[in-house]
Chain A
Amino acid sequence: MSFLEYAPAPESRAVLSLKSEYGLFIDGDFRAASGESFATISPADESHIATIASASEADVDAAVAAARRAYDKTWSRMSGRDRGKYLFRIARLVQERARELAVAESLDNGKPIKESRDVDVPLVAAWFFYYAGWADKLDHAGLGANPRSLGVAGQVIPWNFPLLMLAWKIAPALAAGNTVVIKPAETTPLSALIFAEILQQADLPPGVVNIVTGAGATGAALVRHPDVNKVAFTGSTPVGREIAKAVAGTDKKLTLELGGKAANIVFEDAPVDQAIEGIVNGIFFNQGHVCCAGSRLLVQESIHDDVVERLKTRLSTLRLGDPLDKNTDIGAINSREQLDRIRELSRIGEEEGAERWSADCVIPDNGFWFAPTIFTNVQASHRIARDEIFGPVLSVLTFRTPAEAIEKANNTPYGLSAGIWSDKGSRILAVADRLRAGVIWANTFNRFDPSSPFGGYKESGYGREGGKQGILAYLKAPAAAVEPTPLVERAEGETKRRTRTPRAKKGASS
């Protein structure tokens, strides 16, 4: 038995008490949808988990109407203190049911239990905890006293961090005084539906949060709904573009968190052992299903061979398999469709002349799997250096000078994140200044915190989630916004203006 062989150590599914069928969560209760239902499956073995309702346009309409009523009658009239208390309750309930949520997430999404247990769910609780405190402190968010909520928020979230993305959307929206209709991703609705039960336990007023499951058409109906005041979307750049077009000309406030092709820049003076761990975390965390993944490794030429060798050694120790096993490092690819895309782009990478290396691991018979893969000898023009693969595939490029690294890092329409590895703080700060990306990790990667704004430059979208900037995305300026402007009395003539002294001006300002 080699040191890599462990006895299976699966997390128990007994903690789950799933229903065989889930309806839509509208106005505080589950109800049947008028659309056809669909199955959600485990990507690890393709087994059936539950039957999920698909919200039709009429269902979305009912959800938005419920959110509007709740906004008008309850939530917008409630004190910030009480809104905050509901959010604190939700944070605590998430902590209480953390293991159940983690198991459900790994089951439905395919991510390793150690990630859902140690990253996703704790961050979900942290997000509600952080924004709970904002609810009665909005005067300090930066828009002046008494900023206003927007109304009904329509939110569409992706499958890579199902519950975490839900928290990123719902927590600031509710803290700011908005009500919510949210659509989870088609392949990962399960944790959102358990979250609906948590909302019932928290006794959140009906209609404040409505959860409509379904596919793309459900999301389109939601973002196009005329009674939605705010649209927040996380997902692909092509869909984000369509949403931006759909809301053009309306008063809807829009934030978009879209794709990325992050550069992870490793300088020759980097602490190599930490960098290797950071590179692995950057691209193989969550099977690479991360919009801010460090999918382009830019290594200084002098250390390229050493870094690639060490990476291969490290990747050979990663354990791929059952997402519920506590020793699993690499879980399942979320869907067949995504697996096909990863395979296709990898095939193109080989055809274009890059050199492929995949970790030698046993691929389970059922389910969707892709071994951790590195491409070396990648040129900036290759598809695998330009397109978001959204899988466990790393493209390695080289550079000689910091200027070249910056040039290559910025040579993408995306601008979500970047990494810098160097022992020299002054160089890190200088390079960070020049990178066109919204989040930059220096000597670390893929760190998230509710107090830290997250979001992109360029075609990675606009608006921020997290931090003070994240609450601003759900607020507008007070009704009678008074800006400190140096107004010159318009009727005054030249002479008067010329002779006015600062002291006279001061006296006149009352």
Chain B
Amino acid sequence: MSRRLTVPKTYKLYIGGAFPRSESGRTYEVVSAGGDFLANASLASRKDARDAVTAARGAVKGWSGATAYNRGQVLYRVAELLEGRRAQFVDEIVQQTGVSASDATAEVDEAIDRWVWYAGWCDKFGQVAGNGNPVAGPYFNISVPEPTGVVAVIAPQDTALLGLVSAIAPALVTGNSVVVVASERYPLSAISLGEVLATSDVPGGVVNVLTGSPKELAPWLASHPDVHGLDLVGAGDLDWVDLQIAAAETLTRVLPPEQGPDAAAPSLSRIAAFTETKTVWHTKSLV
């Protein structure tokens, strides 16, 4: 009996809940650690980046307007679906990076568990970061964190899944929408994550995944006026100071690059980085 012929997947972009090819028609070859052909990934263009920002901006209202409890359940649902596709993610990581199956498994497990950890923060972060203020007057005064808006992320470049998840999950907790540029060398896990997101209950446009050249895409995202937050965690090899300067033009909030395997380690400060504190004063009547 002859060996079964496999059915390989076409990896496209993930924008606005759909999987378009790059409008430019461009692709680039993704190869394994051993140099074997794996896939032609989409080489996203400036136009794709702008489309992704438009989709993200359109999704902000619904996602940030959802209850924190609802966002928590939706993000937990993502973890459930990741768990179900564990084997696929492990295989992809092994193929792309050449690590052992057990290392890849550990990475996938850690990514899932971090996702669960962040999902649980949705309906608690406001309590930890917000507070009532004892002002000297007859006012009810309360400060609460709100999402900044659209966050562009340059994902860590040296992992396929863990860095990506570690960067996008905290931004989603409070209700931001995300445009993420995946690892250039290991882009396939990012698109598979997009498939997970598309089949979970995350509304289209809340997460948008671009594959291609961070160097080419980052300047357009950094300077885009509808991008309100910029996570440069994986931009250490780019001219990231220039990106920060471009972002300053519209006072975009910026997180700097991080190096090493612990880049974007789980922390409350990553959630807080893309939030704004809103303080409401309400008069109290005299009784």
Contacts and interface: CB of A to CB of B under 8 A. Distances in A.
A460 B139 CA distance: 25
A440 interface: yes
A440 B117 contact: no
B71 interface: no
Given A483-B265, A483-B266, A494-B105, A455 B277 contact: yes
A439 B279 contact: yes
B250 A442 contact: no
Interface string A453-491: 111011111101001110000000100010101111111
B100 to A, nearest CB: 11
Contacts of A438: 276-279
A444 B251 contact: no
A237 interface: yes
Given A451-B134, A477-B269, A486-B114, A428 B282 contact: yes
Contacts of B103: 490
Interface in B229-287: 240-241, 244-245, 248-251, 253-254, 265-269, 276-283
Interface string B116-154: 110000000000110101111101010100001000000
Nearest to B225: A413
B279 A453 contact: yes
B106 interface: yes
B216 interface: no
Contacts of B282: 425, 428-429, 442-443
Interface residues of A, number: 56
Contact of B281 (A241, A444, A469): A444
B105 A449 contact: no
A436 to B, nearest CB: 8
Tell me the dominant secondary structure on chain B's binding face. Answer: mixed
Contacts of A442: 280-283
A449 B136 contact: yes
B78 to A, nearest CB: 16
Contacts of B278: 432, 437-440, 457
A449 B137 contact: yes
A451 B133 contact: yes
Given A444-B283, A452-B281, A468-B131, A491 B102 contact: yes
A319 B281 CA distance: 29
A452 B228 contact: no
A477 B281 CA distance: 30
Interface residues of B, number: 47
A451 B106 contact: no
Nearest to B254: A248
Instruction: Determine which residue in B128, B240, B267 has the highest number of CB atoms from chain A within 10 A of its CB, and name it.
Output: B267
Given A248-B245, A449-B135, A443 B283 contact: yes
Given A438-B278, A462-B251, A483-B265, A488 B110 contact: yes
Contacts of A502: none
A469 B277 contact: yes
Interface string B79-123: 000000000000000000000001101110110011011000000
A310 interface: no
A440 B266 contact: no
A441 B142 CA distance: 11
Contacts of A443: 282-283
B72 to A, nearest CB: 15
Contact of B133 (A126, A467, A477, A491): A467
Given A449-B133, A486-B116, A491 B106 contact: yes
A245 B283 CA distance: 40
Given A462-B253, A483-B268, A245 B143 contact: no
Contact of A244 (B148, B248, B276, B279): B248
26 contacts: A245-B248, A245-B249, A248-B244, A258-B251, A429-B282, A438-B277, A440-B280, A442-B282, A444-B139, A447-B137, A449-B136, A449-B141, A452-B141, A452-B143, A453-B143, A457-B278, A458-B228, A458-B251, A464-B277, A481-B267, A483-B267, A486-B116, A487-B113, A488-B113, A491-B102, A491-B106
Given A447-B281, A449-B136, 19 more contacts: A241-B249, A245-B249, A248-B241, A415-B276, A432-B280, A437-B278, A438-B279, A439-B278, A443-B282, A444-B139, A461-B251, A462-B276, A485-B117, A485-B267, A486-B117, A490-B107, A492-B106, A492-B109, A497-B109
Interface of A: 126, 142, 237, 240-241, 244-245, 248-249, 256, 258, 413, 415, 425, 428-429, 432, 437-444, 447, 449, 451-455, 457-462, 464, 467-469, 477, 481, 483, 485-494, 497
* Cβ-closest 10 pairs across A and B: A249-B241, A244-B248, A248-B244, A449-B135, A490-B106, A442-B282, A443-B283, A485-B266, A245-B248, A451-B133
